């Protein structure tokens, strides 16, 4: 059998290698989630470089971890050191980058983990493709909405300066497009709102959607 009934998909399954058969696990996602006491999910942070994706994703992870949740952050630069180290920044490579990250995030989620991804992921279609590979409710798009002027003022990696000087080609927001989400599950004004507030907004949205429960934040697991 070539179908993958444990991974629901609204998009066609990408072509698989020949002569392969899906092996069904006995320890399925629901059992892992029951053991963890919370759902697995993909929290997908998107926004311009410097908008605060990494900062917010790690701060949310810290809060979740301290409350006893199983978490992992997939971060842009780190992934490009290894799994996606062969990819550049053309639209085609960015698409492949997000496809691989989406597949990886899905595996983490199947493992019962709350996976937080911090990638510019500038193209709407690429993000929607990831959303389409998982069940409704599994993918929370969090738009880190900070104006480019603020991101450029922060310029914590000095990349905007280099991009303005023409030293970096295809830099998002300057020489490459950023397509803001049309219907994100949550928009956080990371340009003007303090980090603690932003963290609380994300956690509240996760509670509202039943990914974690209030008891996790004041129950016996929390430290």
Ligand X SMILES: Nc1ncnc2c1ncn2[C@@H]1O[C@H](COP(=O)(O)OP(=O)(O)O)[C@@H](O)[C@H]1O
Residue 106 interface partner, choices Mg ion, ligand X, none, CB cut-off 5-8 Å depending on type: none
| Number of residues binding to Mg ion, judged by CB under 5 A | 1
Question: Closest CB to Mg ion belongs to which residue?
Answer: 54
Which is nearer to ligand X, 23 or 81 (by Cβ)? 81
Within 10 angstroms of residue 127's Cβ, the number of other Cβ atoms is 22
121 catalytic per annotation: yes
DSSP SS3 for 114: strand
The yes or no reply on residue 55 touching Mg ion (CB under 5 A) is: no
Contacts by residues 59-67 (CB-CB < 8 Å, ≥ 24 positions apart): 59/195, 59/196, 59/198, 59/199, 60/116, 60/199, 60/202, 60/203, 61/116, 63/199, 63/203, 64/114, 64/203, 64/212, 66/222, 66/223, 67/212, 67/216, 67/217, 67/221, 67/222, 67/223
The yes or no reply on residue 195 touching ligand X (CB under 6 A) is: yes
- List the one residue from 54, 63, 97, 172 that touches Mg ion (CB under 5 A): 54
Residue 52 interface partner, choices ligand X, Mg ion, none, CB cut-off 5-8 Å depending on type: ligand X
Both tokens of 9, joined, read 């998909």
**Paired residues of 176 in beta bridges:** 172
- List the one residue from 95, 193, 200, 213 that touches ligand X (CB under 6 A): 193
Q: Give the footprint of ligand X on residues 28-67 (CB under 6 A).
A: 47, 49-56
Spot the catalytic one: 67, 121, 175, 176: 121
The yes or no reply on residue 117 touching Mg ion (CB under 5 A) is: no
On whether the CB atoms of residues 176 and 90 are closer than 8 A, the answer is no
Shortest spacing between CB 156 and ligand X, in angstroms:
5
79-to-27, 44, 50, 87, 92 alpha-carbon distances in Å: 28, 15, 17, 10, 17
Residue 129 interface partner, choices Mg ion, ligand X, none, CB cut-off 5-8 Å depending on type: none
Residue 102 interface partner, choices Mg ion, ligand X, none, CB cut-off 5-8 Å depending on type: none
Chain mean position to CA 140: 8
Q: Give the footprint of ligand X on residues 103-162 (CB under 6 A).
A: 118, 154, 156
Could you give phi then psi for residue 78, rounded to 5 degrees?
-65, -45
Quick one: which segment of 47-55, 104-112, 167-175, 193-201 binds Mg ion (CB under 5 A)? 47-55
Q: Which residues are catalytic?
A: 121
Site for Mg ion, rule CB under 5 A: 54
Site for ligand X, rule CB under 6 A: 47, 49-56, 118, 154, 156, 190, 193-195, 198
């Amino acid at each position: 059998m070539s179908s993958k009934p444990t991974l629901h998909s609204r998009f066609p399954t990408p072509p698989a290698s020949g002569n392969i058969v899906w092996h069904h696990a006995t320890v399925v996602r629901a059992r892992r989630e029951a053991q963890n006491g919370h759902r697995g999910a993909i929290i997908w942070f998107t926004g311009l470089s410097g908008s605060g994706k990494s900062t917010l994703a790690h701060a949310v992870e810290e809060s979740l971890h301290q409350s006893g949740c199983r978490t992992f952050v997939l971060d842009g630069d780190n992934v490009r050191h290894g799994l996606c180290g062969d990819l550049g920044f053309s639209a085609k490579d960015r698409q492949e980058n997000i496809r691989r990250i989406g597949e990886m995030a899905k595996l983490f989620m199947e493992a019962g983990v709350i996976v937080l991804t911090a990638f510019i992921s500038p193209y709407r279609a690429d993000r929607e493709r990831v959303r389409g590979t998982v069940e409704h409710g599994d993918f929370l798009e969090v738009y880190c909405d900070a104006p480019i002027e603020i991101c450029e003022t922060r310029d914590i990696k000095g990349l905007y300066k280099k991009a303005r000087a023409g030293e970096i080609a295809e830099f998002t927001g300057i020489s490459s497009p950023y397509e803001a989400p049309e219907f994100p599950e949550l928009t956080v004004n990371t340009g003007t709102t303090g980090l603690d507030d932003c963290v609380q907004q994300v956690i509240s949205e996760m509670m509202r959607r039943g990914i974690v429960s209030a008891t996790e934040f004041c129950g016996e697991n929390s430290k």
